[in-house]
Amino acid sequence: MTRWKPGDPKRATASMVRVDQAGEYGATRIYAGQLAVLGDRSPAARAIAGMANQEERHRAFFDSMMARRSVRPTVLQPFWDVAGFALGAVTAAMGPEAAMACTAAVETRSTSIMPSNSMC
């Protein structure tokens, strides 16, 4: 991506930051739901807890960026709160394999988005 120069159209950075933060928020809620069901003793739970810690750091980064840039969170955040936790809890209730499949999908999607934005 080239750098912005005077005269170029203004980039929609607020919406990019909002989308990135929403993704991190959703991921943290999925992991919270999984850990609520799995606990902290299984190998899958330990792996998920490590990924959850990483997502919490990413979310903190975007939360602070939103505050610095006066960007509002998505209006769907209350939905992500409940739906993300429910998705995590349901996949964990299906078993460690389902929880890890969901986690792999979350991480695959996150890494496919993050390099293009390269904000964190």
* pTM for this model (two decimals): 0.81
Name the residue with higher pLDDT: 8 or 87: 87
Is-contact 88 32, C-beta < 8 A? yes
Question: Residues 3-26: what's their mean pLDDT?
Answer: 84
Name the residue with higher pLDDT: 72 or 1: 72
Q: What is the pLDDT of residues 40-81, one digit of tens each?
A: 888 999 999 999 999 999 999 999 999 999 999 999 999 999
Locate all alpha helices (DSSP H) within 1-120, ordered by sequence.
13-38, 43-69, 77-94, 96-117
Burial class (CB in 10 A: 0-12, 13-18, 19+), 75: exposed
